Amino acid sequence: MVTGMENSYEKVQKVYQYVQDNTRYVGIQLGIGGWQPFPAEYVDQNKFGDCKALSNYMVSALQYLGIDAHYSLIYTKDHLNYPEEYFANRFNHAVVYVPSLDEWYECTSSASPAGYLGADNYDKTVLSVVNGKGVRTRTSEWDYSKNTETESVVVKLEADGSAMIDASLSYRGSCSEHWNSVKHYLRGDKLHDHVKERLFSTSSKMDDPQIIASRASPHVQLKVTAESILYAKSSGDRLFVPVNEFFTTDHRLDAAIERKQDLIIREGYIGDLTITIDLPPDYDIESMDEGTTIDSPYGTLSSSLTVGEGKVTFERKLTKHPVHVQASDYSAVREFYQKLYTADSPMIVLVRKRT
């Protein structure tokens, strides 16, 4: 499997992909199975195991190749701040750490790129097994600027309000996780219907999407073509056109009358969106919203609308910071997210040309 490879990085990637391609995750929490990993030989023969068994399997394979690797226990949900003096038994998952590469590996997923642990598991305290002893350490930090959405959309608007939509979408870091799972675990009509529901309205018609997921890094690309039957609404001689009908930042927070707990939003990201609308030739622009600038401790947004020959281009750059605020500041964060949603939904009014 690794014959001819001298580079440790290549060997680790090869072993990781072998585990992904030749084993499957089966949760085993009965009796001792909830505590003790199955031997590597068992996984090799039966081709399945839980997080403990699959992590131990990868560690055993790497150690056989002379590559140091550590079986590590982690809690995948909240951040637990353990005292320095001891560990509480609050683990629910096992992963693998390779010190020579300073990389962590999630062994239960056949979809995760090599060396990408998943957004929920970065910057957490873990207990690693090193030379038969438990060692307290932390998973790597993850810079949220690596989480990006780059979306380029062309809308060909017709006089009846319908539109053809061509979208080229690129997602990296934690923004790619959902689409990476869609690519690997959904097929046929289920994949088609999920993408359509996620990106467009149920009344839209959509061709089969193209999804390319990298195995080397958390990066997924989508190409989608759809037809919206009612992209714009007509009233007499006018068309009311939502510039950004389907790619708004729609994360809004509920009202909280007496919030008690801190608000924590762990993941930030950076989004770049360009929408070009080809206008129907028999219409002129009567009015159009202006671009917006929002600057807040919780993130920023800047947008512009530019009129060209027979088209309007909307460009928006958005940054959402990770947030950790006291309950008393919840309303300020909620107001910021509401402003983002409003700014991300500009309108254009078209009027039919007089003959």
Residue 254 has pLDDT above 90, yes or no: no
Is residue 152 helix, strand or coil? Answer: strand
Report pLDDT for 180.
94
Report pLDDT for 86.
62
- Out of 138, 154, 183, a domain closes at 138
Are 66 and 196 within one domain? no
d(CA 302, CA 318): 7
Q: How far is CA 159 from CA 236, 238, 282, in A?
A: 12, 10, 8
Residue 85 has pLDDT above 70, yes or no: no
Maximum average pLDDT range among 128-137, 162-171, 251-260, 336-345: 162-171
CB atoms within 10 A of CB 24: 12
Average pLDDT over residues 18-26: 94
Average pLDDT over residues 10-32: 89
Beta bridge partners of 149: 171, 271
Beta bridge partners of 166: 154, 225
Are 185 and 333 within one domain? yes
Average pLDDT over residues 263-271: 91
Residue 1 included in any domain:
no
pLDDT band, residue 91 (cuts 50/70/90): confident
Residue 63 included in any domain:
yes
Are 249 and 295 within one domain? yes
Report pLDDT for 83.
63
Are 36 and 107 within one domain? yes
Report pLDDT for 306.
96
Are 115 and 179 within one domain? no
Are 150 and 132 within one domain? no
Residue 34 has pLDDT above 80, yes or no: no
Q: What tokens were used for 340?
A: 């983002």
Residue 228 has pLDDT above 90, yes or no: yes
Residue 2 included in any domain:
no
Residue 198 included in any domain:
yes
pLDDT band, residue 5 (cuts 50/70/90): confident
Q: How far is CA 51 from CA 26, 48, 218, in A?
A: 8, 10, 21
Say what percent of the chain tops pLDDT 70. Answer: 96
Residue 346 included in any domain:
yes
Q: How far is CA 281 from CA 285, 351, 353, in A?
A: 11, 11, 9
Average pLDDT over residues 220-245: 94
What pLDDT, in 10s, does the model give residues 324-334?
999 999 999 99
Average pLDDT over residues 273-295: 95
Residue 87 has pLDDT above 90, yes or no: no
Report pLDDT for 82.
62
Report pLDDT for 78.
67
Report pLDDT for 79.
63
CATH no. for residue 111? 3.10.620.30
Lowest mean pLDDT among 139-143, 276-280, 289-293, 317-321: 139-143
CATH no. for residue 247? 2.60.120.1130
Report pLDDT for 80.
60
**Average pLDDT value for the chain:** 91
pLDDT band, residue 224 (cuts 50/70/90): very high
Residue 42 has pLDDT above 80, yes or no: yes
Residue 38 has pLDDT above 70, yes or no: yes
Are 86 and 199 within one domain? no
Are 218 and 339 within one domain? yes
Are 133 and 151 within one domain? no
Residue 210 included in any domain:
yes
Average pLDDT over residues 85-90: 68
Report pLDDT for 251.
79
Report pLDDT for 217.
92
Residue 106 included in any domain:
yes
Residue 28 has pLDDT above 90, yes or no: no
Are 72 and 151 within one domain? no
- Out of 116, 138, 160, a domain closes at 138
Are 92 and 134 within one domain? yes
pTM over 0.75: yes
Report pLDDT for 256.
72
pLDDT band, residue 84 (cuts 50/70/90): low
pLDDT band, residue 313 (cuts 50/70/90): very high
Residue 90 has pLDDT above 80, yes or no: no
Count of the separate structural domains present in the chain: 2
Average pLDDT over residues 195-213: 90
Residue 3 included in any domain:
no
Is residue 104 helix, strand or coil? Answer: strand
What pLDDT, in 10s, does the model give residues 118-140?
888 888 889 999 999 989 888 98
Q: Look up the domain containing 180 and give its range.
A: 145-352
Are 162 and 109 within one domain? no
- Out of 138, 157, 180, a domain closes at 138
